[in-house]
Amino acid sequence: MPRHIPSNNIQEFRAILHAAKHIIVVAGAGLSAASGIPTFRGAGGMWRSLDAMSLATPEAFAKDPSLVWQFYHYRREKALRAEPNAAHVALAKLSIPSVRASIAPSSKTFHLITQNVDGLSTRAARAVTTAQETPDASALLEMHGRLFDVRCTKCSHTTLDFSSPLCQALGDADRAHEDEVAAGKKETQISIPLEDLPKCSVCNSLTRPGVVWFGESIPLLPQLDKLVEQADLCLVVGTSSLVQPAASFAWQVQENGGRVAVFNVEDSLGTDTADFFFQGGCEIELPRALGMDDTA
Ligand code: BV8
Ligand code: ZN
């Protein structure tokens, strides 16, 4: 049995796109890499010599909320200074029914399921909105939550808060840490007293970032399962496909007879069984494959 080789033929891919009825995209950190947001794998996976994934847990927050809030302060500041890239924009354009009709005329539905919490896909949708053309607001599903959502740990009151810093103490701790690094001092963790961490505007209790941590269930899962069930084409963009349940969506689409196209700078889990593999930066390969780049 010859080994299956995923195709990288754009014409073949566009023919599949042309016939697809229910399209989903499963995106990960690689989608935002070209915008300067560190990924979880490789160098980006470490913050102050700590493993990012170990900080994204309720246990880490219970043990040291000051440390975890400083980690998310760092991620907020990075996201605030980043701009959506050409891959975000291409996916935002696919969310515009009139644009999609020219690329995928048989498509009835399109959903962008992102594991990213940086808000760059939302900003891209806003950037491509004109008086004539508006992305379908229900197309974007941020399955792991949003960095700029701030949720009360007691009454669950949630606000979308882009302030920088989110509270004085986080700004001070950040500056103090930079001064230490600049002075060549060994990195020390600055511990912010609990009463100085971000508080709930309703009940004044401690708040937490509005993201889904490891071991926590995914509120959108019932809706996501339905979309995965009906999808006949899944684009897998910039993800290592190691975190569940997102990592099994593409496989489920293929199990149901649908097609899978992977966009990644390198081989990742599931690439070998995909129908298409476009290797390279998705900020280049995705607009090209969709015929949205200037060579189109
Ligand atoms: C849950 C938010 C119910 C917070 C995140 C079954 C088996 C084993 C384990 C489990 C299982 N079911 C559940 C689990 C446990 C766990 C899990 O999957 N663990 C893994 C580590 C094995 N899952 C959960 O806990 C989920 N909850 O299932 O609840 C439950 C609970 C317990 C047990 C059973 C059931 C919740 C998971 C969500 C956690 N929150 N984020 C935050 O961001 O701080 S996950 C976070 O990490 C991201 O959101 C993302 O999902 C993941 C990182 O993966 P990627 O985004 O793919 O990033 P990565 O760096 O890994 O890869 C980047 C890729 O891009 C690379 O391939 C690279 O080559 C490529 N790339 C780079 N540059 C480019 C590029 N590609 C294209 N262009 C470029 N320019
Ligand atoms: Zn509260």
Least confident of 186-195, 243-252, 284-293: 186-195
Whether 60 and 190 share a structural domain: yes
For tokens 């298409």, the residue is: 276
Q: Check the annotation: does 42 bind a ligand.
A: yes
- The residue among 159, 177, 211 that closes a domain is 211
Ligand 1, residues at Cβ distance < 6 Å: 28-30, 33-34, 39-41, 56, 115, 117, 144, 211-218, 238-240, 242-246, 263-266, 268, 281-283
Phi and psi, residue 27, nearest 5°: -115, 155
Choose one of 40, 73, 221, 244 to mutate for the ligand 1 pocket test, by most ligand atoms within 8 angstroms of C-beta: 244
What pLDDT shows up at residue 123? 98
Q: How are beta strands 50-51 and 46-47 bridged, if at all?
A: antiparallel
The answer to whether 33 is annotated as binding is: yes
Residue 288 and residue 222 share a domain: yes
Range of the domain at 93: 1-36+85-144+217-295
CATH number at residue 165: 3.30.1600.10
The one-character DSSP state at 238 is S
Return phi, psi of residue 176, to 5°. -60, -40
CA-nearest of 132, 135, 69 to 97 is 135
Cα 232 to middle of ligand 1, angstroms: 23
**Statement to judge: residues 101 and 194 lie in one domain:** no
* Whether residue 27 sits in one domain with residue 152: no
pTM of the model: 0.96
Residue among 232, 213, 6 at smallest CA distance from 111: 232
Q: Are 46 and 52 in contact (CB under 8 A)?
A: yes
| CA-CA-CA-CA dihedral for 107, 119, 225, 272, to nearest 10 | 80
State in Å: Cα 240 to ligand 1 middle: 8
DSSP helix/strand/coil, 244: coil
Q: Are residues 203 and 266 in the same domain?
A: no
Ligand 1 centroid to Cα of residue 44, in Å, is 14
- Residue 185's pLDDT band, with cuts at 50, 70 and 90, is confident
What does pLDDT average to over the chain?
A: 94
* Number of compact structural domains in the chain: 2
- 196 and 99, same domain (yes or no): no
Same domain, 202 and 157: yes
Last residue of some domain: 162, 182, 211?
A: 211
Same domain membership, residue 151 and residue 133: no
Q: Which residues are catalytic?
A: 144
Q: Is there a single domain that holds both residue 9 and residue 60?
A: no
CA distance 191 to 226: 44
Position 165 pLDDT exceeds 60:
yes
pLDDT band of residue 47 (cuts 50, 70, 90) is: confident
Based on the fold, state whether residues 28 and 91 are members of the same structural domain: yes
Q: In what order do the strands lie in the sheet with 22-27?
A: 140-142, 109-114, 22-27, 233-237, 259-264, 276-279
Dump pLDDT digits (tens) for 257-267: 999 999 999 99
Domain final residue, candidates 168, 186, 211: 211
Q: Is 210 annotated to bind ligand? A: no
Whether residue 270 sits in one domain with residue 247: yes
Give percent of the chain with pLDDT exceeding 90: 86
Are residue 186 and residue 153 in the same domain, yes or no?
yes
